[in-house]
Amino acid sequence: MYETTHARQEKREMTKVSLGAELLCELLIEAGVDTIFGYPGGAVLPIYDALFDAPIRHILTRHEQGAIHAAQGFSRATGRPGVVLATSGPGATNLVTGITDAFMDSTPLIILTGQVASEKIGSDAFQEADIIGITLPITKHNYQVRKIADLPQIIADAFHIATTGRPGPVLIDLPKDMMSGPAEHCTLPEPAPRGYHVPNAPDPQVLEHIAAEIKRAKRPLLYIGGGIISSKSSEQLREFARKNQIPVTSTLLGLGAYPAGDDLFVGMLGMHGTYAANRAITECDVLIALGVRFDDRVTGKLERFSPHSKKIHVDIDPAEINKNVPVMWPVVADVGLTLHGLLALDCAPDAVAWRQQIAAWHEEWPLSYRPAQDGLKPQLVVELLAKATKGQAIVTTEVGQHQMWAALFYPYTRPRQWITSGGLGTMGFGFPAAMGAQVAMPDQTVVCIAGDASFQMNVQELQTIVENKLPVKVAILNNGFLGMVRQWQQFFHERRYAESRIGSPDYVKLADAYGALGLRAANAQEAEAIIEQALNHDGPVIMEFLVHEEENVFPMVPPGAGTDQMTLEWEEA
């Protein structure tokens, strides 16, 4: 028999205890949670009933995938764990893509899932799914609450695990009877996860050897990743690079950790990296890898990856050491503490000729594109957005060609300014991530650069941003294709564009239907005008840019090739 809210209140007054759901809310508040993204359902109704009176802002999305990507955007913009809540069964399984994305990109999340009542677990009950088993390989850790008395320790441990060491998603599965049953008031205990240890400071002797190796180098290169941002080590990185005059190249997720435009910054490396960055990684003699995982989009063909270098790898996750690329000097430690230690040592190499060589590569093969004789180039749209926002916006992206243009042509100068799906490459990520970033940073301009195909993956969240008065600006680079799929079909499948052309709704009318402002541009003048109009508009705006259909992303390292085997734009015609 279903118990009414009034009956539960009477029970609480009689027993002078709270319910499990109320204790959950109290513990979340104590852990610093002020915002939850979610979607209700039967198994989590006790939690929603408790949230009704709790000082926690709940953002009701239109799909659980939108909720978890919004929580990711919130986390990536702030460094705090994002929190998402979904019901049992399909609600929980709809989170799986976002959990995997957060796991791949080391994003701290607390995922709260409803579960059927304890006595029904394993009976194939209505809306039951084994979310613990499903998410075991894609979470940093997961819990199922079997005794409500365990909840305080679980919450304390979950936040500790999600945010320390290599950050990641932690799931807590909450059977309905645990949330609707009685619970004693309690505060958060000290975290004490069994068997969990976080590496911290590096070995001083190893640092001395590394410093000597760097000092002897003639062609040193810093190769940085998202670990610099998650460990809050950008300041130490800048100080170390400038003190020792060592060039810096970045992964996709590391953009913003070192300021674009700085003389030492070589640009992004890898499949769509700059010519200078990929030449530098190939020719360097000491490679200092900080907070990176040597993923295949960076290394290309392993046999040709940085063949002449001695490799130093600093990462807090021991599982990443020697996983893809063998290194001479592994350091399992906090990257910020490692840089702090190296700053106290004499590392300065004599690398004047090396820096001159990199500058010459930059000058000879700069990042560029062919200007349009008519119509609109997508790279120009990104440049116009950068100019209009003075390079200060928080930029999120979907996944595809537009993502690479946004990475290459917008100048990121600070950490957490750039939010994209790196490891998993999740279409549908960018728009809800922008929503989460805007919730977290209401005073900042948030721009989502999207492709016409990716945007349609979570287009329903238009209603969420309108309802919550979130002034997100969306720039859709509409080329009528699954752009990156088409580019690969052009290069590797003889232009046989099988199922890569895709239609779109009228985005101006679509925006209007949801209550947002819709704008469209087909040339440079119109693009500049609608960007200005969008940025001056108080509410959410959808900007559609009709760009050249067959524009490609260059440079490009073909799959299976080495980073020294780039295809360049001028070779296309």
Mark whether 572 is an active-site residue: no
And the tokens for 502? 């895709």
Per DSSP, what are the bridge partners of residue 171?
111, 142
- DSSP state letters, 479-517: -SB-HHHHHHHHHHSTT--TT-B-----HHHHHHHHTSE
19-36 b/e with 16+ CB inside 10 Å = b?
Answer: bbbbbbbbbbeebebebb
CA 136 to chain centre: 21
**What is the C-alpha to C-alpha distance for residues 213 and 327, in angstroms, rounded to an integer?**
13
Catalytic residue among 104, 484, 543, 566: 484
Q: How far is CA 275 from CA 78, 268, 417, 487, in A?
A: 32, 9, 24, 19
Q: Is the dihedral of CA 296, 299, 305, 306 positive or negative?
A: negative
β-strands 35-39, 82-86 pairing: parallel
Of 367, 411, 408, 373, the residue nearest 389 (C-alpha): 411
**What is the C-alpha to C-alpha distance for residues 433 and 443, in angstroms, rounded to an integer?**
16
Catalytic residue among 22, 26, 37, 64: 64
- CA angle, corner 148, sides to 74 and 192, nearest 5? 65
DSSP for residue 567 = B
Mark whether 265 is an active-site residue: no
And the tokens for 35? 């915002």
SS3 state at 273: coil
**What is the C-alpha to C-alpha distance for residues 92 and 202, in angstroms, rounded to an integer?**
39
Of 349, 355, 274, 341, the residue nearest 310 (C-alpha): 349
And the tokens for 237? 């990185």
And the tokens for 165? 């060491």
Per DSSP, what are the bridge partners of residue 332?
315
Catalytic residue among 3, 9, 52, 126: 126
Gyration radius of the chain's alpha carbons: 25
Catalytic residue among 127, 444, 490, 565: 127
β-strands 182-183, 18-19 pairing: antiparallel
Of 403, 412, 401, the residue nearest 430 (C-alpha): 403
Of 305, 294, 286, the residue nearest 246 (C-alpha): 286
Mark whether 473 is an active-site residue: no
Mark whether 37 is an active-site residue: no
Q: Is the dihedral of CA 275, 279, 281, 284 positive or negative?
A: negative
SS3 state at 473: strand
Mark whether 127 is an active-site residue: yes
And the tokens for 343? 């700053």
Residue 177 dihedral angles phi and psi, to the nearest 5°? -70, -25
Spatial neighbors of 208 by CB under 8 A, at least 6 apart, are: 345
Catalytic residue among 65, 74, 153, 176: 176
Of 446, 414, 444, 410, the residue nearest 431 (C-alpha): 446
Q: Which secondary-structure segment (H or E) carries 283?
A: helix 275-283
Task: Please say whether the beta carbons of 168 and 103 come within 8 A.
Answer: yes
Which residues are identified as catalytic? 64, 126-127, 176, 484
